[in-house]
Amino acid sequence: MTLAITPGSPQRAELVQKAAKGRSLWDDARRRLLHNKAAVAGMIVLGLLVVAAIVGPYLVPFHYDTINKNDVWVGPGVAGHLLGTDSLGRDLLARLLMGLRVSLAIGLVATVVSLIIGVIWGAVAGFFGGRLDEVMMRVVDVLYSLPFIFFVILLMVTFGSNIILIFVAIGAVEWLTMSRIVRGQTMALKHKEFVEAARAAGLKQGAIIGKHIVPNLLGPVVVYVTLTIPAVILSESFLSFLGLGVQPPMASLGTLINNGAQDMELAWWLLVFPSITMVVTLMCFNFIGDGLRDALDPKDR
């Protein structure tokens, strides 16, 4: 026997509350994201890659920089080396896991650097407007006119090549697009009713930006972050391919691909496995970014 839910009953109030909660922006975005099979698959595979990068080097019986001249260019599955060895007898699986860790770390840290600079710069320029906005955006235009790789290489050559500088150098030039996105969104938000109410309540401009403007930028910012990380990884790989990125004995996906390209005629596995790892990692981020973009797109609601 079913129970009738009458108006004003506790059951009806609970259903109304659940329905209202289900219509919230983030709940709806999460539901749409979880229905995107490509994005879910990307999150699962990326999660496995992150776990492998964190704990994998401790589980492999070989260290990533241990040289063994008796196992030079050993093929996959030979002498306990699942993915083979390189020209110095170093285990490729150990180096691949370490390279994946370094590349993901560079992508994450450089993206955080670009996120902090871009959000602050764009939010301030868009909120205050006027002459300050013109000056700040002209700075962005000037930096945009410089070739990205040339600017990074200039920083690397001037201050030396080390992994910390790679974080800063790439992050310091990736914030330009972020600042423009944030500026545009801020200009659209600063005349909304909730911002005017905050002004009427006497909040300072810095508090309005931090408590009302920036939280409402999370949608497009999160989407762009997922697309910035693979771009940063590609930039680091290109620098490492040129010999300006991560330096030996440390490894990254870029250095491994560079070394594999040099020895591909003698040891094909040195190029194939790092390249596959790079492609899978970038595809995961792109699938997640596309899923987030579709989930947060207000036109699809």
When pLDDT is averaged across residues 218-235 and rounded to a whole number, the result is: 84
| Residue 239 to residue 237: CA distance in whole angstroms | 5
Q: Residue 208: its pLDDT value, please?
A: 85
| Residue 58 to residue 37: CA distance in whole angstroms | 32
Q: What is the mean pLDDT of the chain?
A: 82
| Residue 118, in any domain of the structure | yes
Question: In this structure, what DSSP letter does residue 236 have?
Answer: H
Q: What pLDDT band is residue 9 in, cutting at 50, 70 and 90?
A: low
Q: Which of 182, 185, 183, 164 is nearest to 245 (CA)?
A: 164
Cβ count near 271 (within 10 Å): 19
Q: Residue 24: its pLDDT value, please?
A: 59
| Residue 139, in any domain of the structure | yes
When pLDDT is averaged across residues 126-145 and rounded to a whole number, the result is: 89
The whole domain housing 139 covers: 96-300
Question: What confidence tens digit (pLDDT) does each residue in 18-74 have?
Answer: 444 445 566 777 888 888 899 999 999 999 999 999 999 999 999 998 988 888 889
| Residue 90, in any domain of the structure | no
| Residue 30, in any domain of the structure | no
Query: 3-state class of 4 per DSSP?
Result: coil
Q: What percent of the chain has pLDDT over 90?
A: 28
Q: Alpha-carbon dihedral of residues 289, 294, 295, 299, nearest 10 degrees?
A: 150
The CATH number of residue 123's host domain is 1.10.3720.10
Query: In one letter, which amino acid is 178?
Result: M
| Residue 22, in any domain of the structure | no
| Residue 197, in any domain of the structure | yes
Q: What pLDDT band is residue 2 in, cutting at 50, 70 and 90?
A: very low
Question: What confidence tens digit (pLDDT) does each residue in 74-88 have?
Answer: 999 988 899 999 989
| Residue 268 to residue 82: CA distance in whole angstroms | 14
| Residue 166, in any domain of the structure | yes
When pLDDT is averaged across residues 129-150 and rounded to a whole number, the result is: 85
Helix, strand, coil share (%) of the chain residues, nearest 5: 75, 0, 25
| Residue 24, in any domain of the structure | no
What total number of domains does the chain contain?
1
